[in-house]
Structure 1
Protein backbone atom coordinates (compact mmCIF):
# COMPACT_ATOMS: atom_id res chain seq x y z
CA UNK A 1 0.00 0.00 0.00
CA UNK A 2 2.83 2.37 0.92
CA UNK A 3 4.61 1.71 -2.39
CA UNK A 4 1.37 2.38 -4.30
CA UNK A 5 0.97 5.77 -2.59
CA UNK A 6 4.62 6.57 -3.30
CA UNK A 7 4.20 5.59 -6.97
CA UNK A 8 1.09 7.78 -7.30
CA UNK A 9 2.96 10.73 -5.78
CA UNK A 10 6.00 10.52 -8.06
CA UNK A 11 3.73 10.14 -11.10
CA UNK A 12 1.00 12.63 -10.20
CA UNK A 13 3.01 15.58 -8.85
CA UNK A 14 5.08 16.21 -12.02
CA UNK A 15 1.98 15.78 -14.22
CA UNK A 16 -0.05 18.24 -12.15
CA UNK A 17 2.72 20.83 -12.20
CA UNK A 18 3.20 20.41 -15.94
CA UNK A 19 -0.54 20.92 -16.38
CA UNK A 20 -0.37 24.05 -14.23
CA UNK A 21 2.55 25.38 -16.28
CA UNK A 22 0.78 24.74 -19.59
CA UNK A 23 -2.44 26.38 -18.39
CA UNK A 24 -0.59 29.40 -16.98
CA UNK A 25 1.51 29.78 -20.12
CA UNK A 26 -1.57 29.42 -22.34
CA UNK A 27 -3.50 32.02 -20.32
CA UNK A 28 -0.77 34.66 -20.45
CA UNK A 29 0.10 33.87 -24.06
CA UNK A 30 -3.21 35.52 -24.84
CA UNK A 31 -2.55 38.60 -22.70
CA UNK A 32 -0.62 41.39 -24.39
CA UNK A 33 1.60 43.99 -22.77
CA UNK A 34 1.37 47.75 -22.86
CA UNK A 35 4.85 47.91 -24.41
CA UNK A 36 3.76 45.72 -27.33
CA UNK A 37 7.26 44.32 -27.93
CA UNK A 38 7.89 40.73 -29.00
CA UNK A 39 9.90 38.16 -27.12
CA UNK A 40 12.73 38.53 -29.63
CA UNK A 41 12.76 42.31 -29.18
CA UNK A 42 12.68 41.97 -25.39
CA UNK A 43 15.60 39.52 -25.44
CA UNK A 44 17.65 41.73 -27.77
CA UNK A 45 16.99 44.83 -25.67
CA UNK A 46 18.06 43.21 -22.40
CA UNK A 47 21.11 41.60 -23.98
CA UNK A 48 22.26 44.96 -25.35
CA UNK A 49 21.59 46.68 -22.01
CA UNK A 50 23.95 44.17 -20.41
CA UNK A 51 26.64 44.54 -23.06
CA UNK A 52 25.97 41.12 -24.58
CA UNK A 53 26.05 42.30 -28.18
CA UNK A 54 27.73 39.07 -29.28
CA UNK A 55 24.84 36.89 -28.08
CA UNK A 56 22.36 36.14 -30.86
CA UNK A 57 18.60 35.61 -30.58
CA UNK A 58 17.15 32.93 -32.82
CA UNK A 59 13.79 31.18 -33.26
CA UNK A 60 13.63 27.43 -32.69
CA UNK A 61 10.93 24.92 -33.49
CA UNK A 62 8.71 23.39 -30.86
CA UNK A 63 6.66 24.60 -27.93
CA UNK A 64 8.45 25.81 -24.79
CA UNK A 65 11.78 24.72 -26.29
CA UNK A 66 13.35 28.02 -25.22
CA UNK A 67 16.92 27.85 -23.93
CA UNK A 68 20.27 29.60 -23.77
CA UNK A 69 23.18 27.84 -25.45
CA UNK A 70 26.37 28.87 -23.60
CA UNK A 71 28.66 27.25 -26.16
CA UNK A 72 27.23 29.04 -29.20
CA UNK A 73 26.25 32.15 -27.20
CA UNK A 74 22.70 32.05 -28.55
CA UNK A 75 19.33 32.62 -26.90
CA UNK A 76 16.89 30.35 -28.72
CA UNK A 77 13.19 31.07 -28.38
CA UNK A 78 10.30 28.91 -29.50
CA UNK A 79 8.48 30.56 -32.36
CA UNK A 80 5.46 31.50 -30.24
CA UNK A 81 7.73 33.39 -27.86
CA UNK A 82 10.08 34.76 -30.51
CA UNK A 83 7.30 36.41 -32.52
CA UNK A 84 4.70 36.78 -29.76
CA UNK A 85 4.15 40.00 -27.83
CA UNK A 86 2.36 38.51 -24.82
CA UNK A 87 3.26 38.56 -21.14
CA UNK A 88 4.25 34.90 -21.43
CA UNK A 89 6.49 35.54 -24.45
CA UNK A 90 8.58 38.31 -22.92
CA UNK A 91 8.70 36.54 -19.53
CA UNK A 92 10.20 33.41 -21.08
CA UNK A 93 12.49 35.43 -23.35
CA UNK A 94 13.94 37.53 -20.53
CA UNK A 95 14.33 34.41 -18.35
CA UNK A 96 16.58 32.87 -21.00
CA UNK A 97 18.51 36.13 -21.24
CA UNK A 98 18.94 35.82 -17.47
CA UNK A 99 21.03 32.71 -18.15
CA UNK A 100 23.15 34.64 -20.66
CA UNK A 101 23.80 37.31 -18.03
CA UNK A 102 24.70 34.58 -15.51
CA UNK A 103 27.16 33.24 -18.06
CA UNK A 104 28.75 36.65 -18.51
CA UNK A 105 29.02 37.19 -14.75
CA UNK A 106 30.46 33.71 -14.20
CA UNK A 107 27.60 32.91 -11.83
CA UNK A 108 28.93 30.10 -9.61
CA UNK A 109 25.87 27.76 -9.55
CA UNK A 110 25.72 27.97 -13.37
CA UNK A 111 29.39 27.03 -13.62
CA UNK A 112 28.84 24.08 -11.27
CA UNK A 113 25.84 22.95 -13.32
CA UNK A 114 27.80 23.13 -16.56
CA UNK A 115 30.60 21.08 -15.00
CA UNK A 116 28.10 18.47 -13.81
CA UNK A 117 26.30 18.04 -17.15
CA UNK A 118 28.47 15.23 -18.63
CA UNK A 119 28.81 13.47 -15.27
CA UNK A 120 25.08 13.78 -14.55
CA UNK A 121 24.20 12.38 -17.99
CA UNK A 122 26.42 9.37 -17.45
CA UNK A 123 25.20 8.99 -13.88
CA UNK A 124 21.56 9.05 -14.91
CA UNK A 125 22.10 6.44 -17.62
CA UNK A 126 24.28 4.10 -15.58
CA UNK A 127 22.59 4.36 -12.19
CA UNK A 128 19.53 2.26 -12.95
CA UNK A 129 21.64 -0.38 -14.71
CA UNK A 130 23.79 -0.89 -11.61
CA UNK A 131 20.82 -0.62 -9.23
CA UNK A 132 18.80 -3.19 -11.17
CA UNK A 133 21.80 -5.48 -11.57
CA UNK A 134 22.56 -5.14 -7.87
CA UNK A 135 18.99 -6.07 -6.96
CA UNK A 136 18.85 -9.09 -9.28
CA UNK A 137 22.28 -10.38 -8.27
CA UNK A 138 21.92 -9.34 -4.61
CA UNK A 139 25.25 -7.54 -5.02
CA UNK A 140 25.28 -4.68 -2.52
CA UNK A 141 28.51 -3.23 -3.95
CA UNK A 142 26.97 -2.88 -7.40
CA UNK A 143 23.80 -1.46 -5.88
CA UNK A 144 25.85 1.13 -3.96
CA UNK A 145 27.66 2.12 -7.15
CA UNK A 146 24.28 2.73 -8.78
CA UNK A 147 23.25 4.91 -5.85
CA UNK A 148 26.42 6.98 -6.19
CA UNK A 149 25.78 7.53 -9.90
CA UNK A 150 22.17 8.47 -9.17
CA UNK A 151 23.28 10.86 -6.39
CA UNK A 152 25.32 12.81 -8.96
CA UNK A 153 22.24 13.31 -11.13
CA UNK A 154 20.31 14.42 -8.02
CA UNK A 155 23.06 16.92 -7.23
CA UNK A 156 22.65 18.31 -10.74
CA UNK A 157 18.92 18.80 -10.07
CA UNK A 158 19.65 20.56 -6.77
CA UNK A 159 22.19 22.93 -8.35
CA UNK A 160 19.71 23.71 -11.12
CA UNK A 161 17.24 25.27 -8.66
CA UNK A 162 19.24 28.41 -7.74
CA UNK A 163 20.23 28.81 -11.41
CA UNK A 164 16.61 28.86 -12.55
CA UNK A 165 15.28 30.99 -9.71
CA UNK A 166 18.07 33.52 -10.17
CA UNK A 167 17.34 33.73 -13.91
CA UNK A 168 13.66 34.32 -13.15
CA UNK A 169 14.48 37.04 -10.61
CA UNK A 170 16.72 38.74 -13.17
CA UNK A 171 13.96 38.44 -15.79
CA UNK A 172 11.46 40.14 -13.52
CA UNK A 173 13.87 42.98 -12.76
CA UNK A 174 14.71 43.38 -16.47
CA UNK A 175 11.05 43.65 -17.46
CA UNK A 176 10.16 46.14 -14.74
CA UNK A 177 13.22 48.38 -15.02
CA UNK A 178 12.98 48.62 -18.82
CA UNK A 179 9.23 49.29 -18.80
CA UNK A 180 8.31 46.12 -20.71
CA UNK A 181 5.58 45.41 -18.17
CA UNK A 182 3.63 47.84 -16.03
CA UNK A 183 1.28 47.70 -13.04
CA UNK A 184 -1.07 44.70 -13.26
CA UNK A 185 1.06 43.03 -15.96
CA UNK A 186 3.71 42.35 -13.33
CA UNK A 187 1.47 39.84 -11.56
CA UNK A 188 1.02 37.80 -14.74
CA UNK A 189 4.74 37.78 -15.44
CA UNK A 190 5.44 36.49 -11.93
CA UNK A 191 2.91 33.68 -12.39
CA UNK A 192 4.54 32.55 -15.63
CA UNK A 193 8.04 32.61 -14.12
CA UNK A 194 6.92 30.86 -10.93
CA UNK A 195 5.04 28.15 -12.84
CA UNK A 196 8.15 27.38 -14.85
CA UNK A 197 10.30 27.26 -11.70
CA UNK A 198 7.89 24.82 -10.06
CA UNK A 199 8.72 22.19 -12.67
CA UNK A 200 12.33 22.20 -11.48
CA UNK A 201 11.24 22.07 -7.84
CA UNK A 202 9.04 19.04 -8.54
CA UNK A 203 11.79 17.25 -10.46
CA UNK A 204 14.25 17.85 -7.62
CA UNK A 205 11.86 16.64 -4.91
CA UNK A 206 11.04 13.48 -6.86
CA UNK A 207 14.74 12.81 -7.49
CA UNK A 208 15.56 13.20 -3.78
CA UNK A 209 12.67 10.90 -2.86
CA UNK A 210 13.98 8.27 -5.27
CA UNK A 211 17.50 8.60 -3.87
CA UNK A 212 16.23 8.10 -0.32
CA UNK A 213 14.24 5.06 -1.44
CA UNK A 214 17.33 3.50 -3.01
CA UNK A 215 19.35 4.19 0.13
CA UNK A 216 16.71 2.49 2.28
CA UNK A 217 16.70 -0.48 -0.10
CA UNK A 218 20.49 -0.67 0.17
CA UNK A 219 20.32 -0.64 3.97
CA UNK A 220 17.67 -3.37 3.88
CA UNK A 221 19.81 -5.43 1.51
CA UNK A 222 22.81 -5.21 3.86
CA UNK A 223 20.66 -6.15 6.86
CA UNK A 224 19.40 -9.24 5.02
CA UNK A 225 22.97 -10.24 4.16
CA UNK A 226 23.85 -10.14 7.86
Structure 2
Protein backbone atom coordinates (compact mmCIF):
# COMPACT_ATOMS: atom_id res chain seq x y z
CA UNK A 1 0.00 0.00 0.00
CA UNK A 2 2.72 2.49 0.98
CA UNK A 3 4.61 1.88 -2.27
CA UNK A 4 1.49 2.71 -4.28
CA UNK A 5 1.79 6.27 -5.71
CA UNK A 6 -2.01 6.54 -5.56
CA UNK A 7 -1.85 6.21 -1.77
CA UNK A 8 0.46 9.21 -1.42
CA UNK A 9 -1.57 11.17 -3.96
CA UNK A 10 -4.65 10.90 -1.74
CA UNK A 11 -3.10 10.77 1.73
CA UNK A 12 -0.05 12.99 1.19
CA UNK A 13 -1.88 16.36 1.26
CA UNK A 14 -3.46 15.59 4.63
CA UNK A 15 -0.14 14.48 6.10
CA UNK A 16 1.63 17.60 4.88
CA UNK A 17 -1.17 19.82 6.15
CA UNK A 18 -0.99 18.05 9.50
CA UNK A 19 2.76 18.68 9.79
CA UNK A 20 2.23 22.32 8.88
CA UNK A 21 -0.55 22.68 11.48
CA UNK A 22 1.55 21.06 14.20
CA UNK A 23 4.48 23.35 13.44
CA UNK A 24 2.22 26.42 13.54
CA UNK A 25 0.54 25.53 16.80
CA UNK A 26 3.83 24.74 18.54
CA UNK A 27 5.39 27.98 17.36
CA UNK A 28 2.40 30.14 18.29
CA UNK A 29 1.85 28.51 21.67
CA UNK A 30 5.55 28.91 22.50
CA UNK A 31 5.49 32.57 21.45
CA UNK A 32 2.31 33.63 23.24
CA UNK A 33 3.05 31.53 26.32
CA UNK A 34 5.59 34.28 27.05
CA UNK A 35 3.03 37.11 26.71
CA UNK A 36 1.11 37.78 29.97
CA UNK A 37 -2.59 38.59 29.93
CA UNK A 38 -3.56 42.09 30.97
CA UNK A 39 -5.52 40.68 33.91
CA UNK A 40 -2.71 38.37 35.07
CA UNK A 41 -4.97 35.33 35.51
CA UNK A 42 -3.89 31.75 34.84
CA UNK A 43 -5.56 29.38 32.41
CA UNK A 44 -7.39 27.70 35.29
CA UNK A 45 -8.68 31.05 36.54
CA UNK A 46 -9.78 32.01 33.03
CA UNK A 47 -11.79 28.80 32.66
CA UNK A 48 -13.34 29.14 36.12
CA UNK A 49 -14.30 32.78 35.57
CA UNK A 50 -15.90 32.12 32.19
CA UNK A 51 -17.77 29.04 33.37
CA UNK A 52 -19.11 30.76 36.47
CA UNK A 53 -20.20 33.78 34.42
CA UNK A 54 -22.33 31.45 32.29
CA UNK A 55 -23.84 29.67 35.31
CA UNK A 56 -21.75 26.51 34.88
CA UNK A 57 -20.49 26.19 38.46
CA UNK A 58 -21.11 22.42 38.20
CA UNK A 59 -18.30 22.05 35.64
CA UNK A 60 -15.01 21.26 37.34
CA UNK A 61 -11.62 22.55 36.15
CA UNK A 62 -8.72 20.15 36.70
CA UNK A 63 -5.04 19.92 35.66
CA UNK A 64 -3.99 16.96 33.53
CA UNK A 65 -0.73 15.48 32.30
CA UNK A 66 0.69 15.96 28.82
CA UNK A 67 1.37 18.77 26.38
CA UNK A 68 -1.61 20.31 24.56
CA UNK A 69 -3.77 17.64 26.18
CA UNK A 70 -6.47 20.16 27.06
CA UNK A 71 -10.03 18.94 26.59
CA UNK A 72 -13.57 19.08 27.91
CA UNK A 73 -15.20 15.82 29.01
CA UNK A 74 -18.97 16.18 28.50
CA UNK A 75 -19.80 12.91 30.26
CA UNK A 76 -18.00 13.89 33.48
CA UNK A 77 -18.62 17.66 33.14
CA UNK A 78 -14.91 18.28 33.68
CA UNK A 79 -12.64 20.71 31.86
CA UNK A 80 -9.07 19.38 31.93
CA UNK A 81 -6.14 21.68 31.22
CA UNK A 82 -2.51 20.71 30.66
CA UNK A 83 -0.08 21.84 33.34
CA UNK A 84 1.35 24.72 31.30
CA UNK A 85 -2.11 26.05 30.55
CA UNK A 86 -3.58 25.46 34.01
CA UNK A 87 -0.88 27.32 35.95
CA UNK A 88 0.31 29.94 33.41
CA UNK A 89 -1.00 33.54 33.17
CA UNK A 90 -0.38 33.93 29.43
CA UNK A 91 -2.27 34.84 26.28
CA UNK A 92 -1.78 31.32 24.93
CA UNK A 93 -3.09 29.73 28.15
CA UNK A 94 -6.06 32.07 28.23
CA UNK A 95 -6.98 31.26 24.62
CA UNK A 96 -6.76 27.51 25.11
CA UNK A 97 -8.68 27.60 28.41
CA UNK A 98 -11.40 29.80 26.90
CA UNK A 99 -11.68 27.43 23.92
CA UNK A 100 -12.31 24.47 26.23
CA UNK A 101 -14.80 26.57 28.21
CA UNK A 102 -16.50 27.16 24.85
CA UNK A 103 -17.02 23.40 24.57
CA UNK A 104 -18.63 23.36 28.03
CA UNK A 105 -21.00 26.11 26.88
CA UNK A 106 -21.84 24.11 23.76
CA UNK A 107 -22.65 21.13 25.97
CA UNK A 108 -24.86 23.22 28.25
CA UNK A 109 -26.74 24.64 25.26
CA UNK A 110 -27.10 21.24 23.53
CA UNK A 111 -25.21 22.57 20.52
CA UNK A 112 -26.28 20.12 17.81
CA UNK A 113 -22.93 19.37 16.09
CA UNK A 114 -21.34 18.63 19.47
CA UNK A 115 -24.27 16.46 20.58
CA UNK A 116 -24.15 14.56 17.30
CA UNK A 117 -20.40 14.05 17.55
CA UNK A 118 -20.69 12.77 21.11
CA UNK A 119 -23.38 10.25 20.18
CA UNK A 120 -21.55 8.82 17.17
CA UNK A 121 -18.20 8.31 18.95
CA UNK A 122 -18.99 4.66 19.92
CA UNK A 123 -20.21 3.96 16.38
CA UNK A 124 -17.07 5.45 14.81
CA UNK A 125 -14.81 3.53 17.20
CA UNK A 126 -16.55 0.24 16.33
CA UNK A 127 -16.55 1.03 12.61
CA UNK A 128 -12.81 1.83 12.63
CA UNK A 129 -12.10 -1.55 14.22
CA UNK A 130 -14.36 -3.55 11.89
CA UNK A 131 -13.52 -1.73 8.63
CA UNK A 132 -9.99 -3.19 8.00
CA UNK A 133 -11.16 -6.73 8.75
CA UNK A 134 -14.21 -6.44 6.52
CA UNK A 135 -12.15 -4.93 3.71
CA UNK A 136 -9.37 -7.56 3.83
CA UNK A 137 -11.81 -10.46 4.32
CA UNK A 138 -13.84 -9.26 1.35
CA UNK A 139 -10.74 -9.19 -0.85
CA UNK A 140 -9.54 -12.63 0.28
CA UNK A 141 -12.96 -14.22 -0.14
CA UNK A 142 -13.62 -12.25 -3.34
CA UNK A 143 -16.85 -11.13 -1.74
CA UNK A 144 -17.44 -7.71 -3.26
CA UNK A 145 -20.30 -6.74 -0.93
CA UNK A 146 -18.21 -7.33 2.20
CA UNK A 147 -15.34 -5.33 0.72
CA UNK A 148 -17.64 -2.38 0.05
CA UNK A 149 -18.99 -2.63 3.59
CA UNK A 150 -15.41 -2.18 4.77
CA UNK A 151 -14.99 0.86 2.52
CA UNK A 152 -18.21 2.43 3.79
CA UNK A 153 -17.13 1.86 7.39
CA UNK A 154 -13.82 3.58 6.62
CA UNK A 155 -15.90 6.61 5.66
CA UNK A 156 -17.15 6.99 9.24
CA UNK A 157 -13.78 8.51 10.21
CA UNK A 158 -14.21 11.20 7.59
CA UNK A 159 -17.77 11.91 8.75
CA UNK A 160 -16.54 12.27 12.34
CA UNK A 161 -13.69 14.57 11.29
CA UNK A 162 -16.07 16.67 9.22
CA UNK A 163 -18.52 16.96 12.10
CA UNK A 164 -15.66 18.06 14.37
CA UNK A 165 -14.96 21.20 12.30
CA UNK A 166 -18.04 23.28 13.27
CA UNK A 167 -17.63 22.19 16.90
CA UNK A 168 -14.05 23.46 17.07
CA UNK A 169 -14.58 26.63 15.04
CA UNK A 170 -17.61 27.57 17.13
CA UNK A 171 -15.72 26.99 20.40
CA UNK A 172 -12.89 29.25 19.20
CA UNK A 173 -15.35 31.96 18.17
CA UNK A 174 -16.97 31.82 21.59
CA UNK A 175 -13.56 31.92 23.29
CA UNK A 176 -12.45 35.10 21.54
CA UNK A 177 -15.70 36.92 22.32
CA UNK A 178 -15.67 35.84 25.98
CA UNK A 179 -12.05 36.81 26.57
CA UNK A 180 -12.59 40.34 25.30
CA UNK A 181 -16.04 40.66 26.83
CA UNK A 182 -14.77 39.77 30.30
CA UNK A 183 -11.66 41.93 30.01
CA UNK A 184 -9.26 38.99 30.37
CA UNK A 185 -7.25 39.98 27.31
CA UNK A 186 -7.10 43.39 25.71
CA UNK A 187 -8.13 44.03 22.14
CA UNK A 188 -4.44 44.46 21.34
CA UNK A 189 -3.81 40.92 22.62
CA UNK A 190 -6.64 39.18 20.80
CA UNK A 191 -4.36 38.77 17.78
CA UNK A 192 -2.26 36.36 19.83
CA UNK A 193 -5.34 34.37 20.81
CA UNK A 194 -6.37 34.32 17.13
CA UNK A 195 -3.02 32.87 16.07
CA UNK A 196 -3.03 30.18 18.74
CA UNK A 197 -6.61 29.04 18.12
CA UNK A 198 -6.45 29.37 14.33
CA UNK A 199 -3.32 27.19 14.29
CA UNK A 200 -5.14 24.59 16.41
CA UNK A 201 -8.08 24.70 14.00
CA UNK A 202 -5.79 23.71 11.14
CA UNK A 203 -5.08 20.41 12.90
CA UNK A 204 -8.76 19.51 12.60
CA UNK A 205 -8.83 20.55 8.96
CA UNK A 206 -5.79 18.35 8.36
CA UNK A 207 -7.53 15.42 10.08
CA UNK A 208 -10.55 15.83 7.79
CA UNK A 209 -8.37 16.02 4.68
CA UNK A 210 -6.42 12.92 5.77
CA UNK A 211 -9.60 10.97 6.51
CA UNK A 212 -11.17 11.73 3.14
CA UNK A 213 -7.86 10.94 1.43
CA UNK A 214 -7.68 7.47 3.00
CA UNK A 215 -11.33 6.85 2.18
CA UNK A 216 -10.90 7.86 -1.47
CA UNK A 217 -7.79 5.70 -1.77
CA UNK A 218 -9.70 2.58 -0.73
CA UNK A 219 -12.58 3.44 -3.06
CA UNK A 220 -10.27 3.94 -6.05
CA UNK A 221 -8.30 0.82 -5.19
CA UNK A 222 -11.47 -1.25 -5.09
CA UNK A 223 -12.81 0.29 -8.29
CA UNK A 224 -9.47 -0.41 -9.95
CA UNK A 225 -9.61 -4.07 -8.93
CA UNK A 226 -13.13 -4.24 -10.32
CA UNK A 227 -12.03 -2.88 -13.69
CA UNK A 228 -9.04 -5.25 -13.77
CA UNK A 229 -11.26 -8.23 -13.03
CA UNK A 230 -13.71 -7.24 -15.76
CA UNK A 231 -10.89 -6.81 -18.31
CA UNK A 232 -9.50 -10.26 -17.47
CA UNK A 233 -12.76 -11.96 -18.33
TM-score where L is the length of structure 2: 0.91
Alpha-carbon contact 2:14-2:207 (below 8 Å) kept: no
Alpha-carbon contact 2:15-2:210 (below 8 Å) kept: no
- Is 1:14 aligned to residue 18 of structure 2? yes
5 Å-filtered alignment, 1:26-37, equals 26-37=30-41
- Name 1:208's counterpart in structure 2: 212
- Name 1:42's counterpart in structure 2: 46
Q: CA RMSD in A?
A: 1.6
- Name 1:3's counterpart in structure 2: 6
Q: Which of 213, 217, 221 lines up with 2:221 in the alignment?
A: 217
| Mapped partners of 2:14, 2:171: distance in 1 | 26
Alpha-carbon contact 1:140-1:221 (below 8 Å) kept: no
- Is 1:115 aligned to residue 116 of structure 2? no
Alpha-carbon contact 2:128-2:154 (below 8 Å) kept: yes
5 Å-filtered alignment, 1:155-170, equals 155-170=159-174
Note the alpha carbon deviations across 1:95-134, whole angstroms, 9 max, x for none: 0010100000000001110111001111122222222333
TM-score where L is the length of structure 1: 0.94
- Name 1:61's counterpart in structure 2: 65
Alpha-carbon contact 2:127-2:154 (below 8 Å) kept: yes
Equivalent pairs counted in the alignment come to 226
Partner SS for 2:63: strand
Note the alpha carbon deviations across 1:49-91, whole angstroms, 9 max, x for none: 1100111101111111111111111101001100001111010
| Mapped partners of 1:92, 1:25: distance in 2 | 9
Partner SS for 1:187: helix
5 Å-filtered alignment, 1:133-144, equals 133-144=137-148
- Name 1:79's counterpart in structure 2: 83
Q: Indicate the larger mover: 137-146 or 117-126.
A: 137-146
Structure 2: gaps of 5 or more residues: none
Query: Alpha-carbon deviation of 1:32?
Result: 1.0
- Is 1:182 aligned to residue 186 of structure 2? yes
Note the alpha carbon deviations across 1:7-53, whole angstroms, 9 max, x for none: 54343321221121111111111111111111011000100111001
Partner SS for 2:131: helix
